[in-house]
Amino acid sequence: MAHPALLLVLLLISSPAISSSKRILPKFSAIFYFGDSVLDTGNNIRLPTVALANHVPYGRDFPGKKPTGRFSNGRLVPDLLNQRLQLKELSPPYLDSKLSNNDMMTGVNFASEGSGFDDQTSQLANTLPMFEAVKQVNLFKDYLLRLRNIVGDKDASRIIANSLIFISSGTNDFSHYYRSSKKKKMDIGAYQDTVIQMVQARVKELHELGGRQFSLAGLPPFGCTPIQITLSRDPDRACVDEQNWDAQIYNSKLQELLPALQGSLHGSKIVYLDAYWALMEILEEPAKYGFTETTRGCCGTGLREVALLCNAFTPICKNVSSHVFYDAVHPTERGTNARASWRLGRSPRRPVTPLSPPPTPCPRLEGDLDGRPAAL
């Protein structure tokens, strides 16, 4: 069976909406990652933030069995994808002071746990935003200067043009929106539109810096993460449908944006990664993927332990591989591997329009819930 990361790459170039129909394995010169904890391989441990995973039990199944800042028991999508494409074994964080020339030439990771497209999201967590201050894109500019010093201007431009820019962000933006003053100033639809504008601005800036091939992930069903289920206070531990509905509406708006955005950026290819159904399909049919626990993390009680609350004094479940989630927010390596076959350019199984009544997209475990997300 094909490796999930390979399936992702194959689909990257076969989205019917905005990419070629030929399913040919691409050869990227490098891959650059921008976003939040789904992609962060260790940048946050170089920052003064509490959004950290540089302590056990994180990393217990990682090569070397040590914590590296990855919010997982093992590897993340960037590691799996880099390895499958034979670029390198792992995805090094850009803030690592020990980057080699080969690391620089084959791509680095700018993602930061707790960050978002909205700069205020990152300010709350003191992490690397996508745009302002010590932003991820500013670090990319710094990277370009260093790369030119290594290979020269011509080869540097070639590397960037032939690279893949992988972006996964937004969950933290909506998590903070629900419990911030913004909710009083604009409704969820208006905030979705605001974030979409921010996405467009970020992609345009990366295009101006030489990027040509982009993959943008939609929002996952964050109403199904253990911590959101816990905060909803429903004893039946079902997903929070309202949050998942908001995620689906945002995703539909993002998909509508991409063809026009691609058309406005010369020489670009932009594909949509369906992070929503990649996870939802696992939660709806866990046995099909070899999972038995979908509503609790492996760390501690599995209800709310994440970051500093998941630590050396926290007990770990006996069978990590049976859990989709490692802590109350982030998936296990097995969960990540299963999700790595994100569908691209795929129509939702349930039509989503702003005029439709809210669907019930979550696995129908025991009933409906209400609740608001916490910061991730």
- Pick the residue with more confidence: 49 or 256? 256
Query: Could you read off the pLDDT of 179-207 as tens digits, one per residue?
Result: 888 888 999 999 999 999 999 999 999 99
Q: How far apart are the first and last CA of the chain?
A: 33
Q: In this structure, how many other beta carbons lie within 10 angstroms of the beta carbon of residue 253? A: 18
Question: So what's the pLDDT on residue 217?
Answer: 95
57: cis peptide before it, omega within 30°?
yes
One DSSP character per residue, 280-297 reads HHHHHSGGGGT-SEEEEE
Say whether pLDDT at 363 is over 90.
no
- pTM for the model stands at 0.86
Say whether pLDDT at 256 is over 60.
yes
Q: What span, in angstroms and rounded, lies between the C-alpha atoms of 350 and 361?
A: 8
Query: Could you read off the pLDDT of 282-330 as tens digits, one per residue?
Result: 999 999 999 999 999 999 999 999 999 999 999 999 999 999 999 999 9
Say whether pLDDT at 233 is over 60.
yes
Question: So what's the pLDDT on residue 375?
Answer: 37
Break the chain into its structural domains and give their ranges.
4-344
Alpha-carbon separation of residue 308 from 160, 205, 243, 319, 361 (angstroms): 36, 34, 25, 22, 31
Question: What architecture does CATH give domain 4-344?
Answer: 3-Layer(aba) Sandwich (3.40)
Residue type (1 letter), 55: H
Q: What span, in angstroms and rounded, lies between the C-alpha atoms of 375 and 279?
A: 19
* Residues recognised as catalytic: 37, 327, 330
Who's near 327: CB < 8 A, 6+ residues apart? 71, 297, 298, 299, 305, 306, 307, 310
8-state DSSP, 357: P
Say whether pLDDT at 11 is over 80.
no
Question: So what's the pLDDT on residue 137?
Answer: 94
Alpha-carbon separation of residue 243 from 112, 170, 248, 276, 362 (angstroms): 23, 13, 9, 12, 10
